Amino acid sequence: MMSGFIDIGMAAALEAGKAVMEIYEAGDFGVDIKSDNSPLTKADIASHNKILEYLEQTNIPVLSEEGKDIPYAQRKNWKQLWIVDPLDGTKEFIKRNGEFTINIALIENNIPILGVVYAPALDELYFASKELGAFKVNTSIQEMEVEGLIKSAVQLPFQNTHPTYTIVASRSHISKETEDFIEQLKSKYGNIELISKGSSLKLCMIAEGIAECYPRFAPTMEWDTAAGQTICMYAGHDVIDWNTKKTMIYNRENLVNNWFLAS
């Protein structure tokens, strides 16, 4: 059954990616501002609708950024749920730098067990599950079907060949607390490299072995991190809740994540 869910999650991400790229290439984003002052584009909505078409086949409830107003009284008894961000990195999408992703994760008993992260503008696809491990596809994604992509995927992590301690941090949302933590790492490791990146690609960089840590001492939501955390976890890394000092869990009453450290 898990392999079937991987197929559905990947197919949903690929179709959502096509819808997003049509809008991205046309350049008419239709930007609105939501109540939390974050941007919403036509691409967010188109991606959300495409993903739901696929995930509804599973009869597992969906918690999505663009459909998030589900009361906790209803959610708290869900043993399984999909957590979806139809367009993670909307600011990067609007800036047209390609660093945006489609995030789809399956949660079971509050723990991510399957995830897909697709960056359609960069032609990068990651997927992972508790059963299979974590993988990245290094081929022309938009020209292939799901079965071919799975066969061509390479298991993560890749061998770390960089000698310098590398930190990845948010391109658009870095906080003073994050900067202070990076300074502490500089005093510990001396020469470090700092990479700025948008969306859940930061978590995928940890999974790949490109960066040693990703400190996030600023607000994020569950749908920002669930899929990327899945890729991290099943590549042998972890995402630690800064408050609980344990692996970050999902489908909480408060959908705002605590600060966290991925490493």
pLDDT for 30: 67
- Give the integer Cα–Cα distance in Å for 242 and 238: 12
Counting DSSP H helices and E strands in the chain, the numbers are 8, 14
Q: Please give the DSSP secondary-structure letter assigned to residue 213.
A: B
pLDDT exceeds cutoff 90 at 91: no
pLDDT exceeds cutoff 90 at 140: no
pLDDT tens, residue by residue, 35-74 = 555 667 889 999 999 999 999 999 999 999 877 789 999 9
pLDDT tens, residue by residue, 193-249 = 999 999 999 999 999 999 999 999 999 999 999 999 999 999 999 999 999 999 999
pLDDT tens, residue by residue, 153-190 = 999 998 877 789 999 998 877 889 999 999 999 899 98
User: Whose CA is closest to 233, among 258, 250, 251, 254?
Assistant: 250
- Among 19-23, 34-38, 80-84, 238-242, which is the least confidently predicted range? 34-38
Q: Please give the DSSP secondary-structure letter assigned to residue 238.
A: -
- Give the integer Cα–Cα distance in Å for 223 and 165: 28
Beta carbons of 119 and 231 less than 8 angstroms apart: no
pLDDT for 216: 96
pLDDT for 144: 84
User: Whose CA is closest to 190, among 215, 165, 161?
Assistant: 165
- Give the integer Cα–Cα distance in Å for 174 and 67: 26
Cα dihedral angle (7, 114, 156, 238), rounded to 10 degrees? Answer: 170
> Residue 106: CB partners within 8 Å, gap ≥ 6?
5, 9, 60, 80, 81, 82, 112, 113, 114, 115
pLDDT exceeds cutoff 80 at 1: no
pLDDT exceeds cutoff 90 at 128: yes
Task: Map residue 121 onto helix, strand or coil.
Answer: coil
CA distances from 228 to 113, 203, 235 (A): 11, 5, 11
For the chain, state the CA radius of gyration.
Answer: 17
pLDDT exceeds cutoff 90 at 107: yes
pLDDT for 171: 81
Beta carbons of 226 and 106 less than 8 angstroms apart: no
- Average pLDDT score over residue span 77-106: 95
- Average pLDDT score over residue span 94-99: 93
pLDDT for 34: 61
What is the set of domains in the chain, with CATH numbers? Answer: 2-155 (3.30.540.10), 165-262 (3.40.190.80)
User: Whose CA is closest to 13, among 104, 79, 77, 81?
Assistant: 104
Residue 191's pLDDT band (boundaries 50, 70, 90)?
confident
pLDDT for 132: 94
